[in-house]
Every structure is written in structure tokens, then in C-alpha cells.
Amino acid sequence: MVLRLADGKATTLDFREKAPLKAHEKMFQDEKGEVIRGASLESYLASGVPGSVDGMLTAHAKYGKLPLARVIEPAIRLAGKGFPVTKKQARALNRYREDFLKINDGPVPFVKEGEPWKEGDTLRQPELATTLKAIRDHGRAGFYEGPVAKALVEQMKKNGGWITEEDLAAYHSVWREPVTGFYRGYRIISMPPPSSGGVALLQLLHMVEPYPLREWGWNTPATVNLMVEAEKRVYADRARYLGDPDFVEVPVEGLISREYCEARMKDFRPGHVTPSDSLFAGIPPGWESEETTHYSVVDEEGNAVAVTTTLNRSYGNKVVIRGAGFLMNNEMDDFSIKPGYPNSFGLIGGRANAIAPGKRMLSSMTPTIVEKKGELFMVVGSPGGSTIITSVFQTILNVTDHAMDMQKAVSAGRFHHQWKPDLLYYEEQAFQPSDTLRLREMGYHLKQRGSIGRVDAVRILENGLREPGADPRGDDAARGY
């Protein structure tokens, strides 16, 4: 969570999951040091210690104005009475039906008996409603202690998972200073490590700032060439330097300094492509499913939050805790399970993100708040795994450099490069056919894919009105009150 109060004060809350205390660097490798296929994604070992409940309660305790019981009641109602699934939700539930059945040895609410899910069917989660009531009545202890915690730990023990009572009791969120910087006069406030998002976003913005993007135009070959070459360098740095700052020294100030970012782009030549195999991390001064959730909120007083939270892949590892009704994550895959070995998003990891007991895994989450002339200007973020960073990057440029309104900036076609693999991914609507040809002639290896990111954002207009952007790539929506 990135938070900016109406008076301009900003902070962040890190409620990223942690590795269990039994975890170790080689837990997903066999005796020969080879990665055990699927272990970091599809087993009980894939789950980190849950942090979202503690995070929400910690934020509410410090900044909440309404009683917890009132805040949580709508969620209890939705879980207990159910809600109609959308067409996209029905499709996803049907897609993962066999996975749910494979890893759970009893009925789960996400599997419909007898027939596939269809749009308009009601999804009810009565066990989840019971867990939410326990949190309502007992706060943090309603989840990290008592019957809910016992159900989680017992299911872990039975199925080879490593999360214990001690892990749950020891978990606590951390308030951290945001990473901040400036781009064309706009102040950027974003998430610090163990998220790589804020550092990477500021690096990208600093790398492209010296160039006339508005003059070059939106997603023209020249603009794309610059942005992709910056992305390659940033993701190379991510792989080497980013990790949990409670365990490794992350040279944040060096990485985001203008001098360093400009030095990283000194070998950039417009119209030319640098092969990823010839690019490596730089040396900064003083010296990381795309099924994530993001929401951007601005209240009537001008307080703003950008919140990104995730189970990692779609429905995590598909484990549903019996009697408690919630899904477990497979966040352990976001560690570097072996140096140089790509995770499920193709991201290369290094020593800084190696597994260790109680360590938080690296993420790409990039909840961000932008100021203009000292005033709140934009709240933005996205799901999308490794594409989160580039989705937020492009959305900000769409507004600041290409003069788009918020909805157009969110809806505009996107592209993505993450250093390795050396592929330029793009949505169908991202490039003109002639531009695609020109990029191929430059030497890029292009690969069209489905949706990249699902940005949700709010911009504050000069007259004080809120201008939302809800991504049409998902079931996203904007609402006022």
C-alpha cells in the first residue's frame, strides 16, 4: 500500500508474504541441485506466510475512521450470500476446475458440481464468511490464532507444507519509507523493496526523460525503441540487486539516481537494438500470474491509497483451507529458487532474492501516487506479474507525455520487455502494422499476446473533480460516492 494523506504526508505499508521459518535456499531443488518441476507453484510448500489480513488490519488501526465491523460487513455478506459471477470469472473457474480437484481432497466452493460455471451463477463461500466474522470479532487473533490458524496449520502438516503456528504468530506488516523521485516536474511516490516496482519505475522514467517522447509520438518505433532499451537495462538491474531490505543491502538511492540512469543509457543509439545477452546489471553508486488485484482510491478529503495485493498465480496454488474457506498463495515462486533460473513469469533471479527463513520474496507490484506542483495528481497501479512495472510506466507516460485523459491512458495498447527472454511482447492494438514491421527490421523479436496488465487509476483535474480509468481488459470498474 502506498498512502498519501491530504496534507501531503506519504508512507507505504509492506504486507508481503514471508518464507516459513523452515524454509531454506535449496528447498525447491533435488539432490542434484536441479529444480523440482512445479514444486514452487503447485504444492503446499509453494505458500508463504499470509500477510494481507495483517496488512489490512494494520492500515485500519492507524488510519481507519469507521469501525472494523462496518468495514468488513460487505465482504461477509458477499461471501455468505454469494454474488453472480461474470463471464470472465466463470471462464477462469472452469479453466482451473481440475487443478482445484487435484490439490483439495474435499469439496471447494470454486468447483461447481454437475456442470460448468456460467455467467450469472451464484458463488457462495460460507466458510470464508465464518473466517471474516472471526476477524471482525477478534481482529488479528481471529486469523493468526485460534480455530482459523489451527485449520491452516493442520492442513499444512497433513500435506507437507511448512507454515506453523510460530510462523503465523511472528508475521507482522512493516511501515516503510516510499521511494520518490521526479519526472518532468511530477513527483513520483511508489513502493520500495521488497517490491521492485518503485525502483524500476523511477529508473525507467529517469532513463527516458532526456528524450522528446511527445515529439516522437505514442508507440511510434522511435518511442518504443527507447522505452524497450530502458526496460532491458532496468530488468537486468532488478535481477541482480533487488530483494528484501531486511536481509540484503539494496542500493536504492544509487539505482534511482539520475547520474546512474543516464550512464546506463549511454550506449543507447536510436534505431538500434542491444541484444539481451550482451546486457548486464550496472554498478550503481554505493554499491525481480499475472492474477494480481489493484485498486486506486481517493476520498472526499483528498487522502489517496494505491493498493496492490496478490496470491501470485490464478487462485494461488489452488489450496482452499477446509473450515476457513480462503485460498493459499504460491508466492514462494517469486523467490530465486535457483540463481539464474526463471520463475513462472520468466524473471531471472539472483542471490539478493534467494530463499531464507522469514524473508519476504521480491515482487513487481508498483502501487504509485503522482503529485503535480505539490498537489495530488494521479493514483495508479496494476496487476500483471512482471508486466506490472511496464504497465504503470506506460500509463504515466500516456498522461504526462501524450496528453491522454485517464481512461484513454488506461485503455491504450501496451507492450512489454523484461530483458530475458529477449522478446518484445505486444497487444494487438499496441502498434500499427507498419510500425510492427519497422520494429522487426530494427532487430526486435516480437510476440503478440493477450492483455498486458489491468490498470486502475484516478486523476485529479484542476477543478478538483476525479477522472477515473478502469481497465477494459478485465471486469474493472470505477465508482464514486
Pairing of strands 186-190, 415-416: unpaired
Furthest-apart CA atoms within the chain: distance in Å: 64
> Residue 262 and residue 30: Cα distance in Å, rounded?
42
Closest to 52 measured CA to CA, from 290, 322, 326, 245: 326
292 is catalytic: yes
Burial 335-345 (b: 16+ CB within 10 A, else e): bbbbeeebbbb
Nearest CA among 375, 373, 302, 377 for reference residue 6: 302
Catalytic residue from among 292, 309, 366, 400: 292
Q: Is 203 exposed, middle or buried (0-12, 13-18, 19+ CB in 10 A)?
A: buried
Hey, what's the cell of 14? 509492506
Of the candidates 197, 195, 251, 214, the residue with the CA atom closest to the CA atom of residue 418: 197
CA distance 478 to 466: 10
Which residues contact residue 328 at a Cβ distance below 8 angstroms, ignoring those fewer than 6 apart? 44, 47, 50, 311, 316, 317, 319, 320, 321
Rounded to whole angstroms, the Cα distance separating 183 from 73 reads 41
190 within 8 A of 294, measured Cβ to Cβ: no
Query: Residue 296 CB: number of other CB atoms within 10 A?
Result: 27
Q: Catalogue the active-site residues.
A: 292
